[in-house]
Amino acid sequence: MNPTDIDAAARRLREGHAHFIRETPLWKLPGRALGVDCAEVWLKLEQLQTGGSFKARGMLNRLLCNPIPASGVIIASGGNAAIAAAAAAAELGVPCEVFVPTTSSPAKQQKLRELGAQVVVTGAAYADALEACLARQRQTGALLAHAYDQPEVVAGAGTVAREIEAQGGRLPDSVLVSVGGGGLIAGIASWFEGRARVVALEPERAPTLYQARAAGEPVDVAVSGVAADALGAKRIGNIAWTVTQQHVKDALLLPDAAIRDAQLWLWKQMKLAVEPAAALGLAALHSGAWKPRADETVCLLLCGANLDPSTLA
């Protein structure tokens, strides 16, 4: 995975589908506006993307790169990747079947049905839903879209970083990225290739990358907690493992309480309704887990907004 792959994905998504894949805003704010002791904080508002998350980029790229059989597209996901696949399938006029674990939020399941997808709820974790999905795919021959571990999916995610650099007019010093299976951080780090410091952030109760680093290889981990519906992958993806070994030095863990506090802060202070997975960057800053320099520009990716609004009360 490299910037050439990401450039190609950006062109592919723009040609005929610019109405579907949005160029989401980049807000530049003084650090003090977010209660952070640094020069600037950039907020990449990817929660405004089609389907409510960055996942639409990679899913549409996957579908555009491959022939789609009559049986359509099939995917397992905690919710956001499935929503993106269903939206992309609807954009192309093909069927979509999705497998979600029981931890997937009712709001995400409802959104899937509204998009016309056939929804199968099975298993206590993403890995269980994936196993069922793969068995079904062998029966139907549908095009398999993986939530985070396919080259086309990662290249699509990388177009977020490409946009950040173009919109910012320069590089941020650091980019704080939430990690589940690792598709987003793999795409981000593949674009920047060390030109900006990419920091991996995970919930303490879903530490796929952190535990892989401790073990020296990807391993299965138990996942739970406030962000498990989006960051509930049981194992870091192979692409993400390779890319982060090359381009990501820092991998930090955050407690659920800090994530939840940051999510509520973004709503109450900024009127930004995001899911817990999108709040890890601010949680890292507010908790002191990541301490930027006084002259630093920090970029936070608000990666998704598929939540039950009542949880922000």
What's the pTM?
0.93
CA 87 to chain centre: 16
- Residue 80: the pLDDT is 87
Identify which of 132, 60, 124, 58 has the alpha carbon closest to the alpha carbon of residue 97: 132
Listed residues 145, 178, 194: the one ending a domain: 145
Is residue 221 domain-resident? yes
Instruction: Give the per-residue pLDDT at 115.
Output: 92
Q: Are 9 and 158 in contact (CB under 8 A)?
A: yes
Are 104 and 216 contained in the same domain?
no
Tell me, what's the pLDDT at 230? 74
pLDDT exceeds cutoff 80 at 232: no
pLDDT of residue 272: 96
Q: What is the pLDDT of residues 65-120, one digit of tens each?
A: 999 999 999 999 877 899 999 999 999 999 999 999 888 888 888 889 999 999 99
**217 and 304 fall within a common domain:** yes
Same domain, 115 and 196: no
Same domain? For 217 and 295 the reply is yes
In terms of domains, do 117 and 242 share one?
A: no
Q: 């493992």: which residue's tokens?
A: 241
Instruction: Write the CB contacts of 258 (distance below 8 Å, at least 6 apart in sequence).
Output: 283, 286, 287, 289
Counting residues of the chain whose pLDDT is more than 90, the rounded percentage is: 82
Q: Report how far residue 62's alpha carbon sits from residue 81's, in angstroms, rounded to the nearest whole number.
A: 12
| 190 vs 233: which has the higher pLDDT | 190
pLDDT at 3 over 90: yes
252 vs 231: CA distance, rounded Å:
14
**Edge to edge, what strands does the sheet with 143-145 contain?**
118-121, 96-100, 73-76, 143-145
Examine the fold and report which residue of 145, 180, 213 is the final residue of a domain before the chain moves on.
145
Residue pLDDT, tens place only, 147-206? 999 999 999 999 999 999 999 999 999 999 999 999 999 999 999 999 999 999 999 999
- CA atoms of 234 and 103, how far apart (whole Å): 13
Contact 3, 190 (CB under 8 A): yes
Helix axes 151-168 and 183-192, enclosed angle (nearest 10): 50
Q: pLDDT tens digits, residue range 20-34?
A: 999 999 999 999 999
pLDDT in tens, 116-154: 999 999 998 878 888 999 999 999 999 999 999 999 999
Which pLDDT score, from 0 to 100, does residue 101 have? Answer: 87
106 contacts 308 by C-beta, under 8 angstroms: yes
* Same domain? 211 vs 298: yes
Question: How far separated are the first and last CA of the chain, in Å rounded?
Answer: 41
Output the pLDDT for position 132: 95
How distant is the alpha carbon of residue 182 from its chain centre? 8
Q: Copy the structure tokens of residue 109.
A: 């399941």
Are 43 and 170 members of one domain?
A: yes
Look at residue 11 and tell me if it is in a domain.
yes
Which CATH number fits the domain that encloses residue 190? 3.40.50.1100
Total number of domains in the chain? 2
Question: What per-residue confidence (pLDDT) applies to 170?
Answer: 97
Which comes out higher in pLDDT, residue 232 or 241? 241
**Token digits of residue 175:** 């980019």
Residue 130 is part of which domain span?
Answer: 55-145
Q: Is 271 exposed, middle or buried (0-12, 13-18, 19+ CB in 10 A)?
A: exposed
Q: Is residue 313 part of a domain?
A: no
- The pLDDT score that the predictor gives to residue 156 is 98
**pLDDT value of position 225:** 85
